[in-house]
């Protein structure tokens, strides 16, 4: 979805599309952080 929103923004220059892209990017980053933290907690319980 990030690629699509960026492509649409780059072709149209629509600021709302850019803001959508940034929101999706933030959500994606927070999901990755949560996954990393979960992995670290799982690793700690296995040792």
Q: Residue 15 belongs to what domain range?
A: 2-46
Has this prediction a pTM greater than 0.85? Answer: no
Can you say whether the dihedral through the CA atoms of 36, 37, 43, 47 is positive or negative?
A: positive
Domain count, the chain: 1
Q: How far apart are CA 9 and CA 11, in angstroms?
A: 5
What's the pLDDT at 46?
67
Q: Print pLDDT tens along the chain (47 aa).
A: 889 999 999 999 999 999 999 999 999 988 888 888 887 787 777 66
The three-class DSSP label of residue 28 is helix
């Amino acid at each position: 979805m990030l690629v699509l929103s960026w492509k649409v923004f780059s072709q149209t220059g629509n600021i709302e599309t850019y803001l959508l892209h940034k929101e999706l990017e933030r959500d994606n980053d927070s999901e990755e952080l949560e996954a990393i933290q979960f992995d670290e907690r799982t690793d700690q319980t296995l040792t």
